[in-house]
Amino acid sequence: MAREICGFADSDAYISGKIFRQGRGYVVLLSAVDCRSGQVVAATQSTPLAKEKMLDALGEAASELRGELGESLREAASVKAVVPQGWYMSGTKPAQYEAGTDAQSVYNDHPSAYLKSKRPVKDGFGTLMQGFPADKYLGKRVRLSGFVRSEGVQNVTLLWMRVDKGYQAVSFDNMGDRSIKGTTGWQNYAVVLDVPQDATDIFFGLLLNGSGTVWLNSVKFEVVGSDVPTTAERPTDEILTDEPTNLTFQD
């Protein structure tokens, strides 16, 4: 609906937003979407914040997004790469990345999707992703897997998956302990999560943080048995004791 209204109003882009729970804080995600192509051309995401700081975070995010939007729309108009059908670009700096299909990079007899930085990127990331309702997978364990190769990745690249309940992320893994760096050959990677009975949406994708190029091939999304261990990030909640303990670090 927003895209149709945007086109009717003869605007260049519209802003969409999401606030979701992450750990003990809340994250603000704002995206600018090109009215004509439907692609995300600029985005900004906050770090986890306390609830009382959300209004300030929204203002700061909107200001940052406005600063990026003009250049991002010009870049989007000149991009010839076509994002694979069913996928879309997002991230904190999606306008600094390009995604498409590479028929020259064949693996398992299939062309590959690619994600690359358009110029040297000091901070921020782009992700080629998709999302869908969780209805068919409630109460099940699911696995995202794919073959990945990288070239000149200066920071990290990775597969990721997130299960949401409304605006709250209830299960998440971004290969934080096994991310891909530098130049690597084709290797199979997997992310495995449980989908709670009350989940609403599932999102997954390929992420590139910083400069470089990464290719993705032979992607699978499937239900697996309980014998397959999950790769979900462990909870980081503090362990409570009955009273202050070992303050001199001698035990």
For the chain, the first-to-last Cα distance in angstroms comes to: 62
For 186, the 3-state DSSP assignment is: strand
Helix spans in the chain (H): 2-8, 54-78
For 94, 109, 114, 119, the CA distances from 148, given in Å and listed in that order, are: 20, 15, 10, 21
The pLDDT of residue 77: 44
Give me 27's structure tokens. Answer: 């994250």
pLDDT at 86: 85
- Pairing mode, strands 201-209 and 40-45: unpaired
Q: Distance between CA 162 and CA 148 in Å, rounded?
A: 19
- Residue for token digits 């070239």? 151
- Pairing type for strands 110-117 and 40-45 reads unpaired
CATH number of 1-78: 3.40.50.10070
Q: Please, what's the largest Cα pairwise distance for the chain? A: 70
Q: Per-domain residue ranges for the chain?
A: 1-78, 82-235
**Nearest partner of 168 among 52, 22, 30, 65, judged by Cα:** 22
**pLDDT tens for each residue of the chain, 251 residues long:** 555 556 555 566 677 777 766 656 677 777 777 666 666 666 666 665 676 776 777 777 666 666 655 555 445 444 445 788 888 888 888 888 999 999 889 998 889 999 999 888 878 899 999 989 999 999 999 999 999 999 999 999 999 999 999 878 899 999 988 899 999 999 999 999 999 999 999 999 999 999 999 999 999 999 999 999 999 875 444 444 566 665 556 55
pLDDT of res. 89: 86
- CATH fold of the domain at 82-235: Jelly Rolls (2.60.120)
For tokens 């090109």, the residue is 34
Cβ atoms < 10 Å from Cβ of 90? 24
Amino acid code (one letter) for 2 = A
pLDDT of residue 235: 45
Looking at residue 79, its pLDDT comes to 41
Residue 17: closest CA among 50, 74, 61, 72: 61
How far apart (Å, rounded) are the C-alpha atoms in residues 61 and 24?
20
Q: Residue 78: what pLDDT? A: 42
Cβ distance 171 to 118 under 8 Å?
Answer: no
- pLDDT (0 to 100) of residue 37: 65
